[in-house]
Structure 1
């Protein structure tokens, strides 16, 4: 459930904070007041795409924040949060999204940065926004199968997963067969080339980071004489038997120790000389050890240069550095392994593909059988809901196309299309061709009612789903939305007074000009203000006493 929503510098909203409760909340106001902007903000908070156009003119960024609690069926959401490494305390999810003028999107969930895909995977379990785009989904027959699958239960989902795996195995084998059939010569050449490349890289026994170490070693060996001379000269300057730097500093240290008790400054100088003496003594010792270690190994220099030459040769062929070469090695090794396990004859590959196709088809038949069973249930549920929405004479069917060519597809072995008629005696026709706007609204609302019972979303947003209806149908839609609100939090943008009167809470959205700029404001209406707003929705700008009386009747 959405508890709090905060919006800053978003479109024509300067700053806005809203609190929401359970039940049914409506948002009303004049056209263009900014109702849809609030829905846009919720949509962005749950993972939809957004750009700089949303940022209020003159602002550097827009900031959206939402506080949600967990849905009843919280296990799927917890799995997503765990995968993203997000911790939740007290069952609360805090989402913040910043849109910057530089085009960056910064998304945080409980303080942790997530990408847009991660935010979307969380948002799918929190909010279901139902607007005009879903009418378009109903108007596309290719989407009907997905709607049926959404209605289907756990068994259908499992069968669909089994089919998808079988179909994937079949298509992979089929593609390999086609590739082999197209050119066995090319296939053999590819195997030979990959075998050579894998062998060449394996023989080199590359180690990540070794190139830098070898280059450092070459630098030392190539400059042996210069290094030896510098080390010897440095050691001589510090530790020569005659007049060395160390002996001079030691003398100064002894002299200062004699007078350090007379002044803090003398004591500080004495301490500094003492520290310097022992530090330089350690340096002289380290120089002596380095001189002992120095040894010119021409054979080792040749070995390192040959090794580096091998690495450079491989870089010219396979990548700009050792990491890239090894990544490429892993890639071609996997490809070669797949090709090597399929080195059978073309006839054997064809037989394997046929067997996998047979298996996929069998899985597809099981999936089809379950879909048909679920379709019958969906038909009954849809008709029941439509009856309550004054389409009691309607007939609704989920029709499966006959697949005469036995064609497999990623979704199954059939296509599905919704058919309907709202007039008795008329034949059923495709929904996309015969449904009016008002009928489409009611059908979509019926589907949403059914899906809500099975999916248990925490918040449902209806964005002007009552378009194209009036009278008793409008009242039926209001009743249906209120019914949904008994099991889920519902936020509803509406132009219908019947819907507004049915709500548990009523927000009014209006525009006003402050300091020469347009801003959107939102306020919750009290009892008398609700009467005034519903009367305005009934009669327009001029509110009559009759409209006020009608508004009170609706609220009662």
Structure 2
């Protein structure tokens, strides 16, 4: 639910912080006071399309911040989203959304303090809040969303069945895509096979060895620097070996230490250390001699290496940055050549696999369809009961199923199965069924939406429902029925409602009054929670208009008492 909303420099609102409670909160006030602007701000907070026009005149940016507490119904879904999007999660389940809109129309979005995109803000926000206005065709009026509502209504069994279906559907579509790519163009495949054969023969003909390029480069380096290597190794040998050279002096030291150790046993370890160093140096000098004696400048071998490296470099330009990468590429194209060469056999095998997957997919799809049809019967019954309580007893509500086109080879299977689902109504006897979006009367739309929300709000996975004047076009006993229905929805979800109906206002658990004043030649919007006495005065104003009489106050008090009894 929405706990607190802060709005700064948004339209005519300078700075407002509103605390919200559970249950039904109504917002009332004179036309133009800013009621719908508050709802617009919430819409921006959950990812609505932004505009510089929302920024208060002479301000650099508008700021909207909302604090939400999540319910058990959506904790799992939100936690999954937050983990997937790498957004920090508060232990107490609090979600903080923040959006800033600059005077240039740019948006800065944050979720729990982390900078994020508008798309992610919308994805999270629409999980928390559902805004429905009288003239807005929200998800309930979008036919392609009806199947999702029905599936939510169907509950856990549908959720499990859809997971199984989507797993098979993913494998099926991957195999189908693979076959399509493989069989799409015969000429391209033949050209591809010729190219691969040429490349493979070129690489094979080079008879490359793993790491060959590295070894050749090292050998070339030695050959090019053979004179320097000879001079350095010979110089090191001469410094160690010969009359009066390093080894002779080390030997003298070794003998001196040996003589001293004969007198003092404490020098035995040092004697052995000096002796070991002598023999190590002697061995090193012999190694240096062997090294420089085998050094020779072989111009023929150098030319041979340079030629081989040039050949390898040509292959590197085409197939990889190292010999090892070239050999890996050759291995891959050899496998692809085998696949292309045995195309018919491979296609037959894949077709068998695809047929098996299609068979499994149809089993899962038919299971989904059965679950949906069973759920549809229950939903139709419950909606009919809701409509009767809203004085629409002659209205017929149907969940209409249409099979996807079966002319396709796969039977018209989609990500959602084999069904197309639409909610259709006939509001008067003798009229044909029509889609919700084509239901003309505003009052009828209001009642249909409320009936649907009453049933589906428990399955939609949102913490807050917002109704922006959905009670327009009704009065009398219908208005009272709508008031009771809205309050009924608020028992399972937090409901915020802008209303002009005194019957709805009387049912409020919290009543917020929106007003505006002029300060320093600027309009300022105020939001004040009403006491019981103030609530009576406001409902009286809603009943009578400008002039409030004792009779209208009495009527307002009766509505409040009646609402208390109903609650």
TM-score of the pair, normalised by structure 2: 0.69
**In structure 2, what is the Cα distance between the partners aligned to 1:531 and 1:487?**
26
Give the 3 Å change call, closer, same or farther, for CA 433–204 of structure 1 in structure 2: farther
Aligned to 2:503: 498
* Contact in 2 for aligned 1:135/1:440 (Cα 8 Å): no
Correspondence 1:539 to 2:540: no
Aligned to 1:220: none
**In structure 2, what is the Cα distance between the partners aligned to 1:520 and 1:338?**
75
How big is each residue's C-alpha offset from its partner over 1:409-436, in whole Å with a ceiling of 9 and x where there is no partner?
4222122232333445666555554563
How big is each residue's C-alpha offset from its partner over 1:269-312, in whole Å with a ceiling of 9 and x where there is no partner?
xxxxxxxxxxxxxxxxxxxxxxxxxxxxx999x999x9999999
Give the 3 Å change call, closer, same or farther, for CA 204–3 of structure 1 in structure 2: farther
How many angstroms does 1:186 deviate by?
0.8
Aligned to 2:459: 454
Correspondence 1:12 to 2:12: yes
**In structure 2, what is the Cα distance between the partners aligned to 1:52 and 1:40?**
14
Give the 3 Å change call, closer, same or farther, for CA 375–98 of structure 1 in structure 2: same
How many angstroms does 1:25 deviate by?
0.8
Report the 3-state secondary structure (helix = DSSP H, G, I; strand = E; otherwise coil) of the residue aligned with 2:470: coil
Correspondence 1:148 to 2:153: no
**In structure 1, what is the Cα distance between the partners aligned to 2:338 and 2:159?**
30
Which of 5-14 and 347-356 deviates more? 347-356
Give the 3 Å change call, closer, same or farther, for CA 445–342 of structure 1 in structure 2: farther
Give the 3 Å change call, closer, same or farther, for CA 420–27 of structure 1 in structure 2: same
**In structure 2, what is the Cα distance between the partners aligned to 1:477 and 1:470?**
9
Aligned to 1:40: 40
Report the 3-state secondary structure (helix = DSSP H, G, I; strand = E; otherwise coil) of the residue aligned with 2:419: coil
Which of 172-181 and 86-95 deviates more? 172-181
How many angstroms does 1:371 deviate by?
0.7
How big is each residue's C-alpha offset from its partner over 1:163-183, in whole Å with a ceiling of 9 and x where there is no partner?
334334334433444444442
**In structure 2, what is the Cα distance between the partners aligned to 1:544 and 1:308?**
103
**In structure 2, what is the Cα distance between the partners aligned to 1:198 and 1:123?**
55
* Contact in 1 for aligned 2:439/2:445 (Cα 8 Å): no
Aligned to 1:372: 373
* Contact in 2 for aligned 1:191/1:339 (Cα 8 Å): no
How many angstroms does 1:536 deviate by?
2.4
Question: 1:6-155 residue pairs with structure 2 within 5 A?
Answer: 6-73=6-73, 74-83=75-84, 84-132=86-134, 135=137, 137-155=139-157
**In structure 2, what is the Cα distance between the partners aligned to 1:149 and 1:515?**
55
Runs (5+) with no aligned partner, structure 1 = 206-223, 225-297
**In structure 1, what is the Cα distance between the partners aligned to 2:556 and 2:518?**
29
Give the 3 Å change call, closer, same or farther, for CA 432–80 of structure 1 in structure 2: closer
Greater Rg by CA: 2
**In structure 2, what is the Cα distance between the partners aligned to 1:487 and 1:60?**
40
**In structure 1, what is the Cα distance between the partners aligned to 2:370 and 2:69?**
38
Aligned to 1:285: none
Aligned to 2:412: 408
Question: 1:478-517 residue pairs with structure 2 within 5 A?
Answer: 478-517=483-522
**In structure 1, what is the Cα distance between the partners aligned to 2:542 and 2:337?**
70
Report the 3-state secondary structure (helix = DSSP H, G, I; strand = E; otherwise coil) of the residue aligned with 2:21: coil
Runs (5+) with no aligned partner, structure 2 = 210-224, 226-298, 562-567
How many angstroms does 1:520 deviate by?
2.2
Aligned to 2:524: 519
TM-score of the pair, normalised by structure 1: 0.70
**In structure 2, what is the Cα distance between the partners aligned to 1:314 and 1:198?**
14
How many angstroms does 1:366 deviate by?
1.1
Report the 3-state secondary structure (helix = DSSP H, G, I; strand = E; otherwise coil) of the residue aligned with 1:401: strand
Report the 3-state secondary structure (helix = DSSP H, G, I; strand = E; otherwise coil) of the residue aligned with 1:541: coil
Correspondence 1:469 to 2:474: yes
Give the 3 Å change call, closer, same or farther, for CA 460–336 of structure 1 in structure 2: farther
Aligned to 1:212: none
* Contact in 2 for aligned 1:72/1:458 (Cα 8 Å): no
Give the 3 Å change call, closer, same or farther, for CA 310–36 of structure 1 in structure 2: farther
